[in-house]
Amino acid sequence: PSDTGRVLSIQSHTVQGYVGNKSAVFPLQLLGYDVDPINSVQFSNHTGYPTFKGQVLNGQQLCDLIEGLEANDLLFYTHVLTVCDPVMGDEGKLYVPEELVHVYREKVVPLASMLTPNQFEAEKLTGLRINSEEDGREACAILHAAGPSKVVITSITIGGILLLIGSHQKEKGLKPEQFKILIHKIPAYFTGTGDLMTALLLGWSNKYPDNLDKAAELAVSTLQALLRRTLDDYKRAGYDPTSSSLEIRLIQSQEDIRNPKVELKAERY
Ligand code: ATP
Ligand code: PLP
Ligand code: MG
Ligand code: NA
Ligand code: MG
């Protein structure tokens, strides 16, 4: 037993670099969680590079692993990290086949206690177009009705500004408590940030179950410190940070994961 939780984390593994489990497992461990990773794929590197090689775990292979755990009574997890972040797509493009959207909508979302979509995923799951804060808040309300009591739209771009919108419906049928965090957009494209963000939101919201705004402030603070370090390191190495997606400096940011300094505050609606 652990006083924080045991997390079963079903995500991608990359040999080099930090996306999926590579960006989620280490921070959760630093926050004191036991984390058991299942690697849904094992790729040489993330798919933003010119090429990648590797294997995909099929449904039977996933079932085998779960059956092995079950046969030894080892399925005593407090959290499953995968239903949280739908990882369906971004920037107007789907990573998953269009046919899977309704599977997420009908089967996966109702099982999740917390959902952390980006703008595009929130649009796909609700059918709304999100062009304003009001639209974001309405999307959260629709997603609550589908199941999850906690929803964090991790990034909405409105007029060059990044906006996070959080929403906690403390009881079914009640009006959700909503907040926003305004984030200065760093002019670069990072990979692994969504997976890291979701892991941190899980880690902190489990420690502060009634303060989703505080959990989001802590997660955003870690992200901002880590992204600044990443940008600085690339610039110092003489690299143009706008030229391709940057690998995050995860290990170098462990102090910012353990003890984030909150600079961006959540504003309650
Ligand atoms: P996913 O694509 O994995 O479903 P996502 O698209 O929401 O998730 P990101 O857009 O990468 O993931 O954002 C996650 C968090 O990372 C944001 O809430 C923000 O704090 C931070 N972030 C990502 N990119 C930037 C950026 N360019 N400038 C500032 N913060 C950023
Ligand atoms: N998993 C794999 C294998 C990827 O290649 C990527 C992005 O390239 C991701 C996950 C998602 O990364 P992010 O957290 O930035 O959405
Ligand atoms: Mg994104
Ligand atoms: Na997200
Ligand atoms: Mg992601």
Judge contact between 150 and 212, C-beta under 8 A.
yes
Give the per-residue pLDDT at 1.
41
pLDDT single digits (tens) 45-80 = 998 899 999 999 999 999 999 999 999 999 999 888
Cβ of 90 less than 6 Å from ligand 1: yes
Residues 6+ apart with CB under 8 A from 75: 66, 69
Whether residue 195 lies in the annotated active site: yes
Q: Which two tokens stand for residue 189?
A: 């494209």
pLDDT at site 92: 82
Longest CA–CA span in the chain (Å) reads 54
Instruction: Kindly state if the Cβ of 119 falls inside 6 Å of ligand 1.
Output: no
Question: What is the distance in A from the centroid of ligand 1 to the CA of 126?
Answer: 20
pLDDT at 160: 83
Q: Does residue 29 have a pLDDT over 80?
A: yes
The predicted structure's pLDDT at residue 86: 62
pTM assigned to the model? 0.94
CB atoms within 10 A of CB 233: 15
In this predicted model, which residue has the larger pLDDT, 92 or 166? 166
- Which residue's entry shows tokens 């407090």? 78
- At 161-174, the pLDDT tens digits run 999 999 999 999 99
Please state which of the ranges 51-55, 86-90, 123-127, 237-241 shows the lowest mean pLDDT: 86-90
Confidence of residue 3 (pLDDT cuts 50, 70, 90): low
| Pocket lining: 217 vs ligand 1, CB cutoff 6 Å | no
ipTM: 0.91
Residue 217 has pLDDT above 70, yes or no: yes
Cα distance between residue 196 and residue 67, in whole Å = 28
The residue count of the chain comes to: 269
